């Protein structure tokens, strides 16, 4: 089946620094990728839709200048959390649409802890 990887799997950083998370589709091309955030014991909240070669579409309430998304190729999307603060600590998961229509394949997630 389709495989999506994420890097890093976990990261700890100081408040005020920026963190980049990569999402790759390993064996298929994904024109659309999605970025989610999941707080402990909560559901997945869609942050943005990443489209290859165009600007990302952000959900209401998500700051596009704080969460920079770049989808430079059909296999790679990156999420950069700029000037991270402790409240940004969360589990960030990407997914890529591939195969059957609308079916999403999730990456393993990145656990971000901001001190």
Partner 1 sequence: GENVEQHPSTLSVQEGDSAVIKCTYSDSASNYFPWYKQELGKRPQLIIDIRSNVGEKKDQRIAVTLNKTAKHFSLHITETQPEDSAVYFCAATLNAGKSTFGDGTTLTVKP
Which residues of this chain interact with partner 1, rule CB under 8 A?
A: 32, 34, 42-46, 49, 91, 93, 97, 101-104, 106-109, 111
> At CA 66, angle to CA 25 and CA 105, rounded to 5?
20
Task: Pick the closer one to partner 1 by CB: 51 or 70.
Answer: 51
Cα separation, 94 vs 92, in Å, equals: 7
Minimum CB distance to partner 1, residue 81 (Å):
19
Minimum CB distance to partner 1, residue 7 (Å):
14
């Amino acid at each position: 089946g389709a495989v999506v990887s994420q890097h890093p799997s976990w990261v700890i950083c100081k408040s005020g620094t920026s963190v980049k998370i990569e999402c790759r589709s390993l064996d298929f091309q994904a024109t659309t990728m999605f970025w989610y955030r999941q707080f402990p014991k909560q559901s997945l909240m869609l942050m943005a839709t990443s489209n290859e070669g165009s600007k990302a579409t952000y959900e209401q309430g998500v700051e596009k200048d704080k969460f920079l998304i770049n989808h430079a190729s059909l296999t790679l999307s990156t999420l950069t959390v700029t000037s991270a603060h402790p409240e940004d600590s969360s589990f960030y998961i990407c997914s890529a649409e591939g195969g059957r229509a609308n079916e999403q394949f999730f990456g393993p997630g990145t656990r971000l802890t901001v001190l």
